[in-house]
Amino acid sequence: IVLEGQKVKPTRVLDLGFKFKYPTIDEACKQFAVLTPKTAY
C-alpha cells in the first residue's frame, strides 16, 4: 500500500505554507537510514 494505490498529494497543507523537512521519499529514507542503528542491541 505504501508503494502502490492512491496517489495522495498534500495540496491543502502546501497551499497553507507547510514545508516538509524531507520533501521526497528518497530524502526521508536516507535520513531514516542515518538514524537507524547499524548493529543489533
35: exposed, middle or buried (Cβ count in 10 Å: 0-12, 13-18, 19+) = exposed
Higher-confidence position of 41 and 19: 19
Q: What local confidence, expressed as pLDDT, does residue 13 receive?
A: 92
| Domain residue ranges in the chain | 1-41
10-27 pLDDT tens trace: 899 999 999 999 988 899
User: Do residues 1 and 8 touch, judged by C-beta distance below 8 A?
Assistant: no
Q: Residue 20 and residue 25: Cα distance in Å, rounded?
A: 11
Q: Is the confidence at residue 6, as pLDDT, over 80?
A: no
Q: What local confidence, expressed as pLDDT, does residue 18 receive?
A: 94
Q: Which of 10, 39, 37 is nearest to 22 (CA)?
A: 10
| pTM score, whole prediction | 0.53
